[in-house]
């Protein structure tokens, strides 16, 4: 059976954090750091505005010479700046050298059906989808399928009858677990002890790297090709 797989881009295979850090330092000077959550804010998200007001009315205490964390307003300014950069999504680095090329090779060898999913906002230049496709091709994945999504990936995983979804966010993995039959594979490069409580116990597979996620998929593909008990009996009868 050919596996049907969805794979996230930013934080999973593409290093969005480093690119955002680079632009943040250009805007606000060296020594600033991003928030832990750096996904693009929804333009009509009222909760984001309320969070911004809370952050600015109660600034975090800072220690001398400690990196300054960007405020919510500065994060919004950063994303506005990013949207004005020509083909920004083609400038990202790969998080793990050779991982995309290996994914392509395994997909071809096992005849996997792969779609890359992302929430990337539009920037100047080509569409976010086309920029993502060009980036993947440059990293070694020929003719990649990219879907720019704005809604639940769990619902999409169910609609597409996926077997596995690779992502770096626990909440996305839980969403996939709740709304589909796909195996959510969480790429968690930090200390495993920091994975939110209960995530892996619910059925999410946690791995320390994208290469490890590929190992997991390869194990599934190999197991699917092994003959079952009935197949072995038939083979034995034919050999007599």
Helix axes 99-110, 210-225, angle to 10 degrees: 10
Q: What is the per-residue pLDDT for 233? A: 59
Q: What is the per-residue pLDDT for 125? A: 98
* Cα angle 85, 153, 195; round to 5: 90
Compute the distance between CA of residue 225 and CA of residue 88 in angstroms, rounded to an integer: 41
- Contact in structure between 96 and 209 (CB atoms under 8 Å): yes
Compute the distance between CA of residue 74 and CA of residue 81 in angstroms, rounded to an integer: 10
Compute the distance between CA of residue 78 and CA of residue 70 in angstroms, rounded to an integer: 9
The 10s digit of each residue's pLDDT in 149-206 is 988 899 999 999 999 999 999 999 999 999 999 999 999 999 999 999 889 889 999 9
Q: What is the per-residue pLDDT for 224? A: 73
Residues of the chain with pLDDT below 70 are 1, 35-65, 225-240
What are the chain's domains?
Answer: 4-15+88-225 (3.40.50.1000), 16-83 (no CATH)
- Provide the whole-model pTM: 0.82
Give me the sign of the Cα torsion angle 214, 216, 219, 223: negative
């Amino acid at each position: 059976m050919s596996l049907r797989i969805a794979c996230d881009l930013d934080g999973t295979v593409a290093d969005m954090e480093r690119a955002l850090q680079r632009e943040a330092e250009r805007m606000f000077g060296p020594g600033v750091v991003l928030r832990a959550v750096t996904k693009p804010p929804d333009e009509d998200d009222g909760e984001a505005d309320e969070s911004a007001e809370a952050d600015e009315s109660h600034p975090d205490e800072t220690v001398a010479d400690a990196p300054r964390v960007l405020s919510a307003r500065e994060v919004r300014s950063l994303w506005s700046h990013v949207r004005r950069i020509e083909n920004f999504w083609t400038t990202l680095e790969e998080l793990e050298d050779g991982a995309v090329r290996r994914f392509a090779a395994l997909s071809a060898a096992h005849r996997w059906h792969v779609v890359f999913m992302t929430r990337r906002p539009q920037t100047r230049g080509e569409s976010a989808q086309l920029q993502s496709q060009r980036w993947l091709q440059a990293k070694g994945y020929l003719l990649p399928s990219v879907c720019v999504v704005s809604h639940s990936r769990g619902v999409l995983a169910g609609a597409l009858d996926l077997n596995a979804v690779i992502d770096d966010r626990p909440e996305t993995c839980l969403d996939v677990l709740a709304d589909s039959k796909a195996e959510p594979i969480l790429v968690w490069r930090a200390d495993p002890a920091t994975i939110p409580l209960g995530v892996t116990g619910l059925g999410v597979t946690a791995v320390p790297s994208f290469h490890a996620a590929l190992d997991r998929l390869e194990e599934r593909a190999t197991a699917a090709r092994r003959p079952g008990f009935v197949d072995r009996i038939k083979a034995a009868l034919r050999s007599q």
